[in-house]
Amino acid sequence: MGCGNMFFSVLITFSVALITYNIIISANAPLKQGFPGPSTGSLISVDPIIKMPVDRSKSAKPTSKRLFHTAVTASDSVYNTWQCRIMYYWFKKFNYILMAEPDHIIVKPIPNLSRDGLGAAFPFFYIEPKKYEKVLRKYFPEHKGPVTKIDPIGNSPVIVGRESLKKIAPTWMNISLAMKKDPETDKAFGWVLEMYAYAVSSALHDVGNILYKDFMIQPPWDLKVGNKFIIHYTYGCDYNMKGELTYGKIGEWRFDKRSFDSILPPRNLPLPPPGVPESVVCLILPSVPYDVVS
């Protein structure tokens, strides 16, 4: 290789490095600016609203108008910040949106279950609008109708039209914040607060939901995968070696996501003893086709 060629290679390498550097710097810059900062005079010490990059690049003047918000029922970490960007990218491309969570294991392709402008949602037994009528009336006034108009759902799993979600999302964010700032509501709803906030917002915008019980199963209570689409991996699964459920008591065989808060799950998780239901086995053997175990 002659000296000319060598120079050319070095130049190209240098240019690529420089471009890469610029991409990294410019990609990181707006991300940094947008970290939620402390806000004063509020019960919430960290601003939970993550600004979108498009917003930030135009917000040199602090008075400039916001274009949109993204509300996530998640933390404000860097990880979530870039996930929001990806979500927004896909949000713009589809007419129907599936909202799900990382502990929703999808076991078969999910069709568009929503119809006639209604959402499709999983009904949760612990979302009880009637029981919390007094609290909910703060957010769902009398003139909007009976509290039973609020579906017993959370935001996930939900399939909803993009145009409906566009209306619901900003209200959902505001109601979540209002509920969190109200001690009575915060105490009543605890960790299901954003679920109620979604259900209320959907009702406020007259977006009803088809309650779709077959959307998912929740082991260890539900035993068979059957025709369901999602395994909601939320409860710990404890069994003795006879394959009997010992819920609430650490089992000789156990699988609980909370065991892996700060460590990775081992590569070869011990298989459950015989007699453990199919739904639990499927959590451990995600690569086995479900027809084989059912």
Ligand X SMILES: *[C@@H]1O[C@H](CO)[C@@H](O)[C@H](O)[C@H]1NC(C)=O
Residues that bind ligand X (CB under 6 A): 95-96, 112, 114-115, 170-171, 174
DSSP state for residue 34 in the 8-state scheme:
T
CA 207 vs CA 69, 137, 151: distances in Å: 20, 18, 10
Rounded least distance, CB 171 to ligand X, Å: 5
Distance CA 67, CA 166 (A): 12
CB of residue 224 to ligand X, shortest distance in Å: 25
Of 114 and 202, nearer to ligand X (C-beta) is 114
Q: What separation, in Å, do the N-terminal and C-terminal C-alpha atoms of the chain show? A: 64
Identity of the residue, 210 or 281, whose beta carbon is nearer to ligand X in the bound complex = 210
- Identify which of residues 159 and 225 has a Cβ nearer to ligand X in the complex: 159
Closer residue to ligand X, CB minimum distance, 205 or 254: 205
Q: Compute the least distance from the CB of residue 156 to ligand X, in Å.
A: 19
Extended beta strands in the chain, E state: 96-99, 104-106, 119-121, 158-161, 209-211, 216-217, 230-232, 237-239, 253-255
Name which of 115 and 137 has its Cβ closer to ligand X. 115
CB of 48 to ligand X, least distance (A): 13
Q: What sign for the dihedral angle of Cα 103, 108, 109, 113?
A: negative
* Minimum gap (Å) between residue 177 Cβ and ligand X: 8
CB of 66 to ligand X, least distance (A): 9
Q: C-alpha 210: how far from its chain's center?
A: 20
Q: Which residue has tokens 């070869």?
A: 268
Measured from the CB atom, the residue of 115 and 130 that comes closer to ligand X is 115
Q: How far is CA 241 from CA 157, 257, 274, in A?
A: 33, 20, 8
